[in-house]
Amino acid sequence: DGDKDGDGDCTDKKEVEGKLDQSDLGLELEDDGGWDVDEELDLDSISEASQKGKAKIDDDDWGAWEEEVDLELDDATSRNLNKTTFKYSPLVLHLLKVIERYMMNYTSLKELGVSEDQVEDSKALFKQGLKKLCTSYFTMIESQLFTTYKNSVLFYNDFNKLLEECGRVYDIDFTNCHKMNLSFINEYVNDKILLLVKVLDDYALTIWNDDELDNGEKLEGYSKEFLIRFNSQFDEVFFELSKLSHLNKQLVVNTLITITFQVSNNICNRITCRKDISSFESNILSNIIDSITQQLEQKVNTMGIKAEGIQSWTKLQQIKLVLSANLKGILDDFYDAKFYELETHELVSLIKSLFVESPQRTRTITEIQSARETQT
C-alpha cells in the first residue's frame, strides 16, 4: 500500500453558395447545407468504428468507447452547428453527371420500345448498378486517397454528398455505403487517438505502472519529458483539425470531443488501476493531470466546446481531488458530491492505493460504499 497516512496533506438544412481555396483538391469547392442527422458523425456512431481500428485498441483502456457522451457547447457554437455546412469539391458534380448519363440509359428504354414490364424489371438492375458504381468509386479512391485528395475530411464530405444526391434523385437506399464512409472517418479519428495513446504507452513503465520507479528525481524528470511530448503531439493533432474545420465544422468538433474523451478516459483507467501510489507519486500524477486537463480545455474551448461537458475530462479532475486530499478531505468531498463521475470501485481502489491500511481508511471506505448503496 501507499505511504500516505490518513491525516497527512497531500470538466434547417440551408443552402450556402460560396467558393473555397482550390489547394485542397486542385479544384474549386462548393458549399452545401448540412445533411440529415443520421448522416453526420456523432459520438453515438463512434461505437460502429471499423474493426480494423478497434483491433488496435486495448479493451481495458477503451471500455468507455461505447458509453454515451454528454456534450456542452457554448451558445455560438450551438447556433453554428444547427446550421451545419460542409464543403465538397467539383469532382462530385462531375461524378453526378456521369451517373446521370448512366441512368439515362434506363429512362431511354421506353423510347426504344421496351415493354412496361421489362422497363420495371430493369429499374432494380440499374439501381443495383449505381450502388456498385458508388462502392467502386469509394474503394478506388480510399486505396490511393492522397493521390486525389490532400485530406480525409474532404473525401468523406464528397462521398457523403454523392450518396445524398443519388439517394434523393434516384430513390436509392445507400445505408451500406454510408456505413463504409462512417467506418472510413472513424478510422481517421482512431489514428489521431492512437498517436496520443502511443505517448502514454511509452511511459507505462516510468509513470503509470506500480513499483517501476522508486527514484523521485528520475520520476519527476520522466513526468516533465512526458508532458512535453504529450502536449506537442496534441498540438499537432489539434493544428491539423483546426485547418480542416472550414471543410466540416461539425465533424471536426465531434472528432475533437471524441479525442478528448478517449484520451482522458485512458489516463483515468491507468490511474484507477494502480495498486500502490506513494505520496511523491500522487503529487507527480496530480501535476500531470493538471497540465493535461488545462491543455485539453484550452484547445476544446477554441472550438466552442465546454470541457466540463466531457465526462472523462471531468473524471480526471475528480481523480486529482482524490490524489491531493487526506481521508477526511476525501470524505468531505464525497458528501459534497464531487466524485459523481467515479464509480464506487474506482474511488475505493484509489483510496486503497493511496493510504496504508488503517481503521480510518476502513471506516472511510465502508462509509462511501454504504452511502452509494443507499443511493441505488
- Model confidence pLDDT, tens digit, residues 212-253: 556 677 889 999 999 999 999 999 999 999 999 999 999 999
pLDDT band at 36 (very low <50, low <70, confident <90, very high): very low
Query: Do 100 and 209 fall within a single domain?
Result: no
The reply to whether 261 falls in a domain is yes
Arithmetic mean of pLDDT, 135-159 = 96
Instruction: Please report the pLDDT score of residue 112 as a whole number.
Output: 78
Is the pLDDT at 48 greater than 50? The verdict is no
Query: Do 146 and 221 fall within a single domain?
Result: no
**Which residue in 280, 348, 292, 299 sits closest to 316, CA to CA?**
292
Final residue before a domain boundary, out of 172, 201, 228: 172
The reply to whether 272 falls in a domain is yes
Instruction: Please report the pLDDT score of residue 21 as a whole number.
Output: 38
* DSSP of 50-106: -HHHHHTS-TTT-GGGGS-----B-HHHHHHHHT-EEEE-HHHHHHHHHHHHHHHHH
Burial class (CB in 10 A: 0-12, 13-18, 19+), 127: middle
pLDDT band at 360 (very low <50, low <70, confident <90, very high): very high
Query: Do 108 and 156 fall within a single domain?
Result: yes
- The residue with greater pLDDT, 109 or 177, is 177
Average pLDDT of the chain to the nearest whole number: 82
| Portion of the chain with pLDDT greater than 90, in percent | 66
Overall domain count for the chain:
2
pLDDT band at 352 (very low <50, low <70, confident <90, very high): very high
The reply to whether 341 falls in a domain is no
Is the pLDDT at 19 greater than 70? The verdict is no
Is the pLDDT at 39 greater than 80? The verdict is no
Query: Do 193 and 314 fall within a single domain?
Result: yes
pLDDT band at 160 (very low <50, low <70, confident <90, very high): very high
Is the pLDDT at 13 greater than 80? The verdict is no
What residues make up the domain containing 158?
A: 90-172
Query: Do 201 and 242 fall within a single domain?
Result: yes
The reply to whether 209 falls in a domain is yes
Half-sphere exposure of 111 (CA within 13 A, CB side): 5
- The residue with greater pLDDT, 7 or 130, is 130
Instruction: Please report the pLDDT score of residue 290 as a whole number.
Output: 97
Query: Do 157 and 197 fall within a single domain?
Result: no
Query: Do 158 and 197 fall within a single domain?
Result: no
The reply to whether 233 falls in a domain is yes
Instruction: Please report the pLDDT score of residue 310 as a whole number.
Output: 97
Is the pLDDT at 285 greater than 60? The verdict is yes
Query: Do 259 and 140 fall within a single domain?
Result: no
What whole-number distance in Å separates Cα of residue 151 and Cα of residue 347? Answer: 42
Amino acid at 68: E
- The residue with greater pLDDT, 33 or 127, is 127
- With vertex at residue 13, the alpha carbon angle to CA 12 and CA 14, rounded to the nearest 5 degrees, is 100
Query: Which of the listed ranges 38-52, 61-75, 109-123, 317-331 does the model predict with the highest average pLDDT?
Result: 317-331
Query: Do 198 and 292 fall within a single domain?
Result: yes
The reply to whether 348 falls in a domain is no
The reply to whether 336 falls in a domain is no
Final residue before a domain boundary, out of 304, 324, 344: 324
pLDDT band at 20 (very low <50, low <70, confident <90, very high): very low
Final residue before a domain boundary, out of 117, 139, 172: 172
Query: Do 122 and 201 fall within a single domain?
Result: no
pLDDT band at 357 (very low <50, low <70, confident <90, very high): very high
Is the pLDDT at 70 greater than 60? The verdict is no
Query: Do 199 and 313 fall within a single domain?
Result: yes
The reply to whether 198 falls in a domain is yes
- With vertex at residue 253, the alpha carbon angle to CA 247 and CA 258, rounded to the nearest 5 degrees, is 130
Which helix (H) or strand (E) element contains residue 31?
Answer: strand 30-33
pLDDT band at 171 (very low <50, low <70, confident <90, very high): very high
Is the pLDDT at 43 greater than 50? The verdict is no
Query: Do 122 and 243 fall within a single domain?
Result: no
Arithmetic mean of pLDDT, 281-286 = 94
Go through the chain and tell me how many residues it has: 376
Cα 214 to Cα 5, 99, 219, distances in angstroms? 19, 67, 8
